[in-house]
Amino acid sequence: MDIKIKNVKELFSLVKEAGYLVAFTGAGVSTLSGIRDFRGRDGLNNDMDAEKIFDINYFETDPSFYYNRTRSFIYNLDEKEASIVHTVLARLEQRGFLKALITQNIDLLHQKGGSKNVIEIHGSPETHYCLRCAGIRVSYKDAAAVVLRGEMPKCPECGRVLKPAITFYGESLPAQALRRAVIESQQADLMLVLGTSLTVYPAASMPEYTLRNGGKIVIINNMPTPLDDRSYLHFDDLGSVFEELNSCLLNE
């Protein structure tokens, strides 16, 4: 038997036997859907200053910088399809194996793939709001329609450019999502760490909570992470592993 297939079968056994399985996902999950990550070989940082795009101080000074550069990868999400990773995670949840999914991603593809219990630890573009006027909320669909016309969504009360509810550099993570993520990570006896280099804190500390509470982690990522030597299993090819996991699910 091919060693990779053998190890995926071991992974599937771990998944089925876990008392409390949690997944933690990063940008590498969505590269399979054609969305570029930040630090990978073809990442956004190679040809644009991604940290500047998502800097709250720069946004307040010049929000057009954010909207002009994210039009093609945040506001065209209707054109993106959930990958095999998104759909298999949803299937694991439906089967009762996966209890919670913590994601650093801001592309809404886990929901599109069918997952329900999604904790968006870096916020979400699902809502856009005014930094000045309380209670002003605009949906992703309405904001995207404006952005795709080459304009920016504005507050109907004061005319200020709306900000997406994505956590920018210089902002705190959404408190409720962070609390939920920590609780789920502490409960997990098995965490799947998928498509993340584990370099952005505090989000990257989630697997550490699992380890500190005696749980196992499985890392699937095409770049090294600081926790590779503490992972119970490790794989490089996310797509291939999830194709095999999908076969295991279908053949069970």
Question: What does the pLDDT look like over 90-113, one tens digit per residue?
Answer: 999 999 999 999 999 999 999 999
- Would you kindly state where each structural domain of the chain is located, as residue ranges? 1-35+81-122+174-252, 36-79+124-166
pLDDT score recorded for residue 2 = 45
Rounded distance between C-alpha atoms, residue 128 and residue 228, angstroms: 37
Give yes or no: 110 in active site: no
For residue 124, name the pLDDT band (cuts at 50, 70, 90): very high
CATH of domain 1-35+81-122+174-252: 3.40.50.1220
Q: What pLDDT is recorded for position 77?
A: 85
Closest CA to 216 of 236, 197, 237, 233: 233
Q: Does 186 score more than 50 pLDDT? A: yes
Which one is catalytic: 86, 110, 122, 128?
122
The CA distance from 205 to 4, in Å, is 28
What is the model's pLDDT at position 180? 97
Summarize pLDDT for 150-175 with one digit per residue, the tens: 999 999 999 999 999 999 988 999 99
**Which strands, in side-by-side order, build the sheet including 233-235?**
118-120, 98-103, 21-25, 190-194, 216-220, 233-235
Mean pLDDT in residue range 212-221: 96
What is the SS3 assignment for 81? coil
What is the pairing mode between strands 98-103 and 118-120? parallel
Architecture of the 36-79+124-166 domain: 2-Layer Sandwich (3.30)
**Averaged pLDDT for residues 27-48:** 67
| pLDDT-above-90 percentage for the chain | 74
pLDDT in tens, 42-60: 555 445 566 788 999 999 9
**C-alpha dihedral (224, 227, 232, 234), degrees to nearest 10:** -10
